[in-house]
Amino acid sequence: MNLKNALNEEQREAVEYINGPSMIVAGAGSGKTRVLTYKIAYLIDKGYEPSSILALTFTNKAAQEMKERIKKLIGAKANQLWMGTFHSIFARILRAEAAKLGYDSNFSIYDRDDSVSLVNNIMQEYNINHESLTPSGVQHKISFLKNQMITPDEYLSHIAQTPVEKKIGEIFLNYNKKLKENNSMDFDDLLLKPIELFNNHLRILQKYRKQFKFILVDEFQDTNRAQYELLKLFTTSRVKLCVVGDDAQSIYGWRGADIRNMLEFQKDFPKAKVFRLEQNYRSTKTILAAADSVIKNNADQIKKTLWTNNNDGEQLTIIRCSDEKDEAFQIAKQIKKEVSSRKISFNDIAILYRINSQSRALEEALRREKIPYQIIGGVEFYRRKEIKDLIAYLRVLANQNDEESLLRIMNFPQRGIGNTSISKMIAFSRKLNINLFTTMARVFEVIEVKERIQKNVKQFKLLLNKYIELKDKLSLPELMAALVDELGILRMYKEENTPESLQRYENVQELLAAIQQFAKENKGATIHDFLAEVSLLSGADQYDEKENKVTLMTIHAAKGLEFPVVFITGCEEDIFPLNPKFDSDSKIDEERRLFYVAITRAQEKVFITYARSRYRFGEVAYQSKSRFLEELNPETFTELNKAGSRKGGRKKASYYNEFYQESYDDFNQERRSLRVGSKVVHDIFGRGKILQIVGNGDMQKVTVDFENVGRKTLLTKFANLKLV
């Protein structure tokens, strides 16, 4: 394989070193994916069997793109590679070895919503007050403890001190027990259970050590403790390890990622060779200088100096705005200007923000100006209520022990089985130590349940039995189409005829199309195959660069992507950085790394915006400029004082007012369908239930009981509530 023309000298050295552990420190835009791709092709060229190479990534999209590139170099042999996310690869291993851990291979995988629901059910069962503890907060704590590899027993024995902490420990204990009873695992288990498997079954560990001769890890800076422990378990003198990452782009500490894995890699692997990729192929010299001037303020980092042969390029443009509407107005105006002057497409432009709630005003402005856009990482398709309902049906057909999924569909569509009857059935199942699915078959023994409801339960059980039998006789698309038809879901949404129901109708149709496509691409695919695929999708997998639309996303979602023009919005204290009142320097360092990631997404031009005031939490807040803007090298940017942009003549002021005076409802059909009792999600406050709606138009207020923070009264116009 001729690497001389394909790679620079540092890249080539990193690719060709295969004699021991190595760490490739790959700066932003330095060709990391190219190096990984060529290294895998090089290994195969040197005699490694494709099936002996394990390549771990952080998104399905990254794995797919890398595999496609490798195919172009080595052909169909690339299909034999073990390549995917940590979670998907170890889920695959767990399905093969499930019996050793006391699970069936058809175990369900719970996402965060499923986990919160399970916690909520446990709290209700034990009459735990929601005032001191919320299901969402408890689930977050459980996930944090699992990321730290702390068991419920360890937490209760050595960590929990207060009554609240001890209550969390008890819920944690019951949570793990219920998962096992439901033949289910959560996302954290997909990393913890393999460690348990390998520690308790040395022969199985030896089997995989024998299979995998070379392990490569992408985005190593984002690994948590469990992921790193798995890598160390696999790595021996005969199993080589190569990790690739950039400590300056470590931005997931809040979900358990440990930057020390990268900073201290050489302590764990003293013989490891370190390669530094410092030539940037993406950005201009000015953009790199700006990014470097900020990131150098972080204390702990691996020393490297990015450089580029690209031209100097334009200075960054900082735009001072009066409020979030002015900010959106200025961005829309600049987008039109950039598309016209640079002769670029809309999909060459990204608008990045720190928190999802910032997108509301931006969407208004883009719609007004007829600028097409796509949002990445909002409520992901497979997390929408109607989709989760149907996926729950499939999960019950595949795994009758999955009580959470069964509870979700017990009365959907409505079949007259209320919560009271369900509670009595659960009590019966606990008393006899049987699962809820079995209890349905014996519902006539649950004398507390009315005869009419017993009949409804029996009919539902017959329906499920019918499709459990059919799942091995029909193709997956046929099975799902028949089920949706018999349930009457499409007809129900169409007859309801509200904007919300019609959107749900379209989403169900989209699910049927997705299943059809999945079956087409995966011949002979089963219900288990499809569930394994969708349970591991993430928001980042939604991005489609072929859509000619401006891309709106959080900075976290943008990592790994690049655009000619990037807008970084809301650069104010308490937004970006998210909170200046940090309890440690490490958190502000992570926010600074996030700012570095945002700047280095750009190839040609960066716009940075901040507002003097912003509507937040139901009131106007006066903002101060982000400290990160003060850290920028003054030679790398120009600042436009746009705070007074609405002054300067009747025509300009009139245009601005016209820009925003149109009815908000024109932009938000979902707002019209908010009603008392609706379950909603707020970007800051989390999940909640609407208790009251008062007024209409721009002055309409909504009172929501949030799981995490209690009751809040908000202006609907700015609340950015999403139905779930």
The residues assigned a catalytic role are: 32-33, 218-219, 249, 601
Strands 710-715 and 701-706: antiparallel
E strands, 542-685, in order:
550-554, 563-568, 602-611, 613-616, 619-622, 637-641, 679-682
**Do the Cβ atoms of 174 and 78 come closer than 8 Å?**
no
Instruction: Scan for tokens 């360890």, then name that residue.
Output: 154
Please report the DSSP string for 190-253 in residue order.
HHHHHHHHHHH-HHHHHHHHHH-SEEEESSGGG--HHHHHHHHHH--SSSEEEEEE-GGG---G
Number of C-beta neighbours around residue 681 at 10 A: 19
Beta bridge partners of 686: 682
Strands 619-622 and 613-616: antiparallel
Angle of helix 385-398 relative to helix 499-521, nearest 10 degrees, comes to 40
How many Å is the maximal CA-CA distance in the chain? 80
By C-alpha distance, which of 256, 93, 272 is closest to 185? Answer: 93
> Can you tell me the distance from the alpha carbon of 495 to that of 577, in angstroms, rounded to the nearest whole number?
47
Mutual angle of helices 385-398 and 527-534, in 10-degree steps? 140
Q: How far is CA 446 from the centre of its chain?
A: 42
Residue 217 in contact with residue 20, Cβ under 8 Å? Answer: no
* 3-state DSSP assignment of residue 392: helix
388: Cβ contacts below 8 Å, ≥ 6 apart? 113, 382, 408
273: region left, alpha or beta (phi > 0 left; psi from -120 to 50 alpha): beta
Q: How many CB atoms lie within 10 A of CB 384?
A: 19
Q: How far apart are CA 387 and CA 404, in angstroms?
A: 15
Among 393, 438, 435, residue whose Cα is nearest residue 413: 393
> What is the rounded distance in angstroms from the CA atom of residue 161 to the CA atom of residue 140?
18
Which value, in Å, is the radius of gyration of the alpha carbons in the chain? 27
Beta bridge partners of 376: 553
Q: Which of 653, 664, 554, 675 is nearest to 615 (CA)?
A: 664
Residue 552: half-sphere exposure toward Cβ, Cα within 13 Å: 24
Task: Measure the CA angle with vertex 574, ends 573 and 580; round to 5°.
Answer: 80
According to DSSP, residue 542 is labeled: G
Would strands 108-110 and 184-186 be described as parallel, antiparallel, or unpaired?
A: parallel
Distances (CA, A) of 355 to 376, 568, 622: 12, 12, 18
Tell me which H or E stretch contains 85: strand 82-85
Q: Is the peptide bond before 413 cis (omega within 30 degrees of 0)?
A: yes
